[in-house]
Amino acid sequence: MDQNKISSLWELSSSGRRAVRVPASDVPKAELDEKLARKVEPELPEVSELDLIRHYTRLSTLNYSIDTRFYPLGSCTMKYNPRLNEQTARMAGFAASHPYAPESLVQGNLELLYELQNGLSELAGFKATSLQPAAGAHGELAGVLMIKKYHVSRGDKGRTRFLIPDSAHGTNPASVAMGGFEAVELPSDGRGNIDLSKLKELCDESIAGIMITNPNTLGLFEEQIIEVIETVHACGGLVYGDGANLNAIMGVVKPGELGFDVMHYNLHKTFSTPHGGGGPGAGPVGAADSLKDFLPGPIVVVSEDDPDSYTLAKPEKSIGRLKGFNGNFGVLVRAYTYFLSLGGNGLRDASESAVLGANYLMSKVKDILPPWYDRICMHEFVSSGQNLAEGVHTMDLAKRLIDYGFHPPTVYFPLIVPEALMVEPTETESLEILDAFADTLRIIVKESQENPQLLHDAPHREMVSRLDEVMAVKKPVLRDILRL
Amino acid sequence: MSYIPHTESDRLKMLEQIGLETVEELFQDIPESCRYPELNIPDGLPEMVVKKRLKDLSDRNQSSDDALWFLGGGLYRHFVPSVVDAVLSRGEFFTAYTPYQPEVSQGTLQALFEFQTMIAELYGMEVVNASHYDGAAAMAEAALMALRCKSGRKEIVLDEGIHPEYIEVMETYLAGSDALMRKGRPDDNSACFITANPAFTGEIRDLKALAEECHGVGALFIVHADPLACGLLESPGVCGADIVTGEGQPLGIPMSYGGPSLGLFATTKKLIRKMPGRVVGRTMDAGGRAGCVLTFSAREQHIRREKATSNICSNQGLMALAAAVYMAAMGKQGIRETARLIYDKTAYASLTLGQLEGFSVDQGSSCFREFILSCPSPAADIADALQKKGIFPGLALSRFEASEYRSAYRENDLLVCVTEMNSKDEIDRLAKALTAAAKGNM
């Protein structure tokens, strides 16, 4: 057996081998109607526990992660995931608690949720928060449906359109469409803000609302945010905040005070809960007075008859449930742990340091990778690979970074910046790392002029180089080949 | 405490490089009147203090580890082999992002590819995606997918025995569409018919018969199937399902008060382009080496924006990894034996408890993991009395209000859940406790 080859579970498999022994039955065997019984056994692997540990440990070494590398993935916020959060989420009273246990026997859970709801509301300036949505996009859907129900509840039924800036995350228009609205694209102006004059043109009685990411996906704070919000409110629309970038402004400004009606928090980004190769996340939604009664439920409230006890309740005009049970509770425990650890002052420090780090890095590479908008940025900045050497693309630069041991930044997003390169260092990366990254970018830009092929063929040292994504669609192989 | 590495001299150096005097100047684009608001949040605490506080909260909850436990109703206490958390705790897995850069994400990608394969085997389906938020959201997305597949048809028809909270989630998801949800049998207005196997109340369904009825009127057949039960029962794919959804929590994921869990979603090759969610595919690099990538992304929101099949983006990658490690650890035999144990113990419990004076079990078909025990008095009262003694006899179904989408539950109905974790002795102890409770001796 080739010790360097990464095998599949089925290649490691041998008939009759096993990792777990199931206890012998202590009850009589029951009849099962032959009609309902399975005829062909599922081809699950048959491996030992050591096989498994080796298999997954080897696989793990093929991943870049925050624990192993700098991961400046703009708009995704890859910051350090404290181990304390993992320990608390695994405490038996949390992990082995059941959502249908009587409320009197899960007061610890309810108190935690209550405190987190209130803490988030205070941090972002909202009246109430629901912790139910399982991800940012899930929170977006909640907000869109809340706005829909708000208009309908007032008998205002002609509002069929939702404004979305052209710099928006792809989830924004998709969420609006799931809510049954038409997405109307709003252009950006020359400074990367929402084009205010165009906004004024588009605002009429057909507008249900606007979905704004602020700071936006260009890493810029909307300079005319108050005018934007006032304009939408003036036509009867409401304002949804995609809180994906709250990481930049915690304790520095409260979106609720700026006039946002509803906003989600990406706890898996902002509150240091791990991404886990794609989730789980948590996307609580905070609402102002205008929408607090429409929040998805249940949420935690203090009992009317006992101020020391908590109970679950559905807000008065709730859009309903978005998820079974009580949201991604385990993620919420991690977020609450982080919230207590940092406190109000620490959260503000985190934002300030994230913004400081991004501006430092931007200024260090300004001459080789000029920012698309030459302004102070928030926690991330967007450059363009347009002025790389002839024939060299942003993707080539990104892939070459892998050879130097860095995870590539986000590329080709936002869509309005050609050859976009979006860098977010986060507050947990040291000055030395930021310097090393800037130096490496400088080396690669030089390489791109002297030996562009080096970039085209990158990465050179990983188990695989660039994979054929066209073939993946044309000749789909979506499961391991079995029974051959 | 703080996780920021910058020293005071680092900060000064950074500010100098940027050309500013203070950090506050970085926020000059924010309207001054709203800048640096009063923040009524206490200061951060040291690790020792935070840990103590969380431990105190945790200790105020009932852990299923410290009780006689028969409470289920959609989330279950199952055995989790130690290897599962050992793998999950590797930082290279849990601190990685969505695998958009495949060259540096082969670990996550191969693990998800193998996850897809194992779920496909259990479900008997061709295509599995890499995870929705939970079973309820997966079912709601399946309903939306059926509407896309059957344009012109507006009805989502529900079988009896769909989890009441799933119905609530579907109502919320469908609020943005013009679809109609109803219970009953499918007809030629129906985009799909949704059933659950086992049903919320534990009955095992005859999926083949339902599939024929459904396809006879041209509707898609959607089965919400328990993945563990599939170790024993005929797979939904073999029975003719077009879409299969499921809750993956029984596959090695702790209950965690309801989340995170794992939405399972499978379909046929024919329908792949209509499917929401991430899919991993195997392909080659220029050197002919095999590797995995996220594929069929032309359906997804980052490309298709408002025309995408769904807005789902962050999902449950790590939970899919947990399920993969669980399935591989249990293996072919382990899954079958566990499913069989659950089936046999459920049968033993329903027979034993159904014979108690004043109690009865009248479900005609056989059950998996759960069954309704009809009690001599309101089930909530009996449960309350027992729970004070550390015995959780099941779920009083009166907690779910009657709904137009399903028949009302009776006040005396207790949904008893039995898994491989419950010994015969525990079931016998429950029988004694129920008898005592019914006589008012608790």
Residue whose pair of structure tokens reads 């951060």 in the numeric block = B44
Rounded Cα distance, B72 and B383, in Å? 13
DSSP A187-251: -B-TTSSB-HHHHHHH-STTEEEEEEESS-TTS---TTHHHHHHHHHHTT-EEEEEETTGGGTTT
The pLDDT of residue B408 is 86
Nearest neighbour of B104 by CB, restricted to A41, A63, A477: A63
From the list A75, A230, A254, the residue with the least C-alpha distance to A168 is A75
pTM value is 0.97
The pLDDT of residue B303 is 87
Q: How far does chain B reach from its first CA to its final CA, in angstroms? A: 48
d(CA A153, nearest CA chain B) in Å: 13
Residue type at A312 in one-letter notation: L
DSSP B57: H
Cβ separation B257–A326 shorter than 8 A: yes
d(CA B370, nearest CA chain A) in Å: 15
Cβ separation A472–B130 shorter than 8 A: no
- For the sheet with A410-411, list strands across it: A381-384, A420-423, A410-411
CA R_g for chain A: 25
Q: Which two tokens stand for residue B58?
A: 């945790």
Residue of A nearest to B4 (CA): A428
Rounded Cα distance, B147 and A165, in Å? 29
Report the mean per-residue pLDDT for chain A. Answer: 96
Whether A473 has a pLDDT exceeding 60, the answer reads: yes
Cβ separation A62–B43 shorter than 8 A: no
> Do B122 and A42 contact (CB within 8 A), yes or no?
yes
Nearest neighbour of B31 by CB, restricted to A137, A225, A266: A225
Whether A483 has a pLDDT exceeding 80, the answer reads: no
- Strand B220-225 with B243-247, pairing: parallel
How many Cβ atoms are within 10 Å of A475's Cβ, its own excluded?
12
Rounded Cα distance, B442 and B439, in Å? 8
Rounded Cα distance, A473 and A412, in Å? 21
Contacts of B126 in chain A (CB under 8 A): 478-479
The pLDDT of residue A260 is 98
Cβ separation B133–A62 shorter than 8 A: no
Contacts of A266 in chain B (CB under 8 A): 314
Task: List beta partners, residue A270.
Answer: none
Rounded Cα distance, A441 and A400, in Å? 9
Nearest neighbour of A327 by CB, restricted to B107, B259, B343: B259
Nearest neighbour of B51 by CB, restricted to A20, A26, A84: A84
Label residue A5 by pLDDT band (50, 70, 90). Answer: confident
Range in A46-50, A376-380, A433-437, B298-302 with the lowest mean pLDDT: B298-302
Cβ separation B172–A140 shorter than 8 A: no
Q: Which distant-in-sequence residues (6+ apart) come within 8 Å of B106 by Cβ?
A: A6, A59, A62, A63, A462, A463, A464, B291, B292
Rounded Cα distance, A246 and A79, in Å? 14
> What is the enclosing helix (H) or strand (E) of B191?
strand B190-197
pLDDT digits (tens, 9 = 90+) for B216-254: 999 999 999 999 999 999 999 999 999 999 999 999 999
Residue type at A262 in one-letter notation: V
d(CA A211, nearest CA chain B) in Å: 13
Cβ separation A278–B130 shorter than 8 A: yes
CB pairs under 8 A between A and B: 704
Mean pLDDT of A97-116: 98
Q: How far is residue B310 CA from its own chain's centroid?
A: 18
The pLDDT of residue A215 is 97
d(CA B270, nearest CA chain A) in Å: 12
Residue of A nearest to B236 (CA): A38
pLDDT digits (tens, 9 = 90+) for A421-432: 999 999 999 999
Contacts of A16 in chain B (CB under 8 A): 333
pLDDT digits (tens, 9 = 90+) for A346-367: 999 999 999 999 999 999 999 9
Residue whose pair of structure tokens reads 């001459």 in the numeric block = A367
Residue of A nearest to B282 (CA): A477
Cβ separation B257–A359 shorter than 8 A: no
Whether A484 has a pLDDT exceeding 50, the answer reads: no
Dihedrals phi, psi of A381, to nearest 5 degrees:
-135, 155
The pLDDT of residue B442 is 62
Cβ separation A320–B168 shorter than 8 A: yes
Residue of B nearest to A113 (CA): B57
For A28, A44, B357, B426, B434, the CA distances from B352, given in Å and listed in that order, are: 12, 34, 11, 12, 11
Rounded Cα distance, A427 and A358, in Å? 9
Q: Most B CBs within 10 Å: which of A157, A325, A378, A410, as the mutation test of the B interface?
A: A325
SS3 assignment, position A21: coil
CB half-sphere exposure, B32, CA atoms < 13 A = 1
DSSP A65-117: -TTTS---BTTT------HHHHHHHT-HHHHT--TTS-GGGBHHHHHHHHHHH
Q: Most A CBs within 10 Å: which of B17, B112, B311, as the mutation test of the A interface?
A: B311
Task: Name residues of chain B where pLDDT drops below 70.
Answer: 441-442
d(CA A52, nearest CA chain B) in Å: 7
d(CA B315, nearest CA chain A) in Å: 5
d(CA A289, nearest CA chain B) in Å: 18
Residue of B nearest to A24 (CA): B341
Q: Which distant-in-sequence residues (6+ apart) come within 8 Å of B205 by Cβ?
A: B159, B161, B195, B196, B197, B198, B199, B365
Q: Which distant-in-sequence residues (6+ apart) come within 8 Å of B303 by Cβ?
A: A170, B297
Cβ separation B94–A81 shorter than 8 A: yes
Is pLDDT larger for residue A14 or for residue A3?
A: A14
- Strand B155-158 with B180-183, pairing: parallel
Q: Most A CBs within 10 Å: which of B41, B65, B223, as the mutation test of the A interface?
A: B41
Cβ separation B5–A429 shorter than 8 A: yes
Residue of B nearest to A462 (CA): B103
Q: How far is residue A234 CA from its own chain's centroid?
A: 31
Cβ separation B113–A479 shorter than 8 A: yes
Nearest neighbour of A473 by CB, restricted to B30, B87, B296: B296
Mean pLDDT of A58-84: 96
Surface-to-core class of residue A430, CB atoms within 10 Å of its CB (0-12 exposed, 13-18 middle, 19+ buried): middle
Contacts of A473 in chain B (CB under 8 A): 281, 295-296, 298
Cβ separation A363–B19 shorter than 8 A: yes
SS3 assignment, position B260: coil
Q: How far does chain A reach from its first CA to its final CA, in angstroms? A: 20
The pLDDT of residue B1 is 84
What sign does the dihedral B131-B133-B135-B137 (CA atoms) show? negative
Q: Which two tokens stand for residue B420?
A: 């491989």
